[in-house]
Amino acid sequence: MYFLVRQLLFQKDPEQAHDYVVSILKKQKNVTQKFSFLFRHSSENLKRTVWGMEFPNPLGLAGGFDKTGELYEVLSYLGFGFIECGTFTPLPQEGNPKPRLFRYPKYGAIVNRMGFNNPGVDAASRTFQLQRKTIPRGISIGKNKTTPNERAMEDYLLAFEKLHPFADYIAINVSSPNTPQLRDLQQSKELLDFVKLLKDKSKTQKQVPILIKLSPDLDNKMFFSLLEVYLDAGVDGIILTNTTTRKFNQYQIHEEGGISGLPLKIIATDMIKKAYKFTSGKIPIIGVGGIFDGKDALEKIMAGASLIQIYTGLVYRGPFLPKKILSFLDNFLEKENTTLNEITGINAK
């Protein structure tokens, strides 16, 4: 049934199709909740405790799908263990000119150059205030396009102050390729000072884990250097990875922007493995990039991911993908008589 619906959706412009799905989800929240049992796979084996917080399962929805925060509640009925909303900037912004979202079904890829289109932190705050809390919610924050890098941390601080009361973790997005010079912030001293400031604030306010989402296009020297300084700064977790701007000879992908999906799978898994080994598993990793089935999910966990996320796989494989992935993981754990804790990072050791 879904593949018939997908065929119809794929006849639309990708962003129009996304907006159409969003409108249906918002209208059918009660229906989705009523039939949530069709999308869920629950098991004690799949529960995961990270940052002292219990996740019903390790599979989340990556940032970028729910750009307004309005879908958090309805998406939680589709079997996910957590949802990441955003990225949110202090001021509302339209994002980059359209068209800015492109499908490459032949390669299982999506290219986007959205540019942090979002309603701003005030609107997001009002949205979250009205929602019923269901599963853990991550909130991704960024800077406005017009804010120069030397003032970027003012944007991140404002976004943090507004949204951290509604977050179970905060993801600092400094790795999107679609905001000019944003990736330069990954290695800035200001970012490290900012993380330390947030950690100090957490001692007197609600304590929220601080995560940094990294680019897959870092070379090894820079990647390991950043991991070392992030550990020293007290970062609570790393999200690996954001989209890539690499040009792949084997894929005829011509649009500019960040590539997600299957072309990113091996790159992301390799970076997770390196990060887990380099940090000796000291900080949790959220693994994202090219997860289209249970085997892909297992590879990310065995490489060192405590939690995993999907996005492009959901677009191509549909709303039953979380259930299929979780069923596969549960069956694997049962068959091997093991646990998620025991297999996390086993391929990186």
Q: What stretch of H or E contains 104?
A: strand 101-104
Q: Quote the DSSP letter at residue 189.
A: H
* C-alpha span between 344 and 89 (Å, rounded): 33
**CA-closest candidate to residue 69, choices 123, 3, 23:** 123
* C-alpha span between 123 and 90 (Å, rounded): 10
Q: Quote the DSSP letter at residue 200.
A: H
Set 176, 202, 260, 306: catalytic member:
176
**CA-closest candidate to residue 267, choices 240, 294, 307, 295:** 240
Q: Are strands 101-104 and 109-112 parallel, antiparallel or unpaired?
A: antiparallel
Q: Please provide the DSSP assignment of 207-256 as one string.
A: ---EEEEE-TT--HHHHHHHHHHHHHHT--EEEE---B-PPPTTS---S-
Please say if 306 is a catalytic residue.
Answer: no
Q: How many helices (H) and strands (E) does the chain have?
A: 13, 13
Residue 235 in tokens: 């970062």
238, β-bridge pairs: 212, 285
Which residues are annotated as catalytic? 176
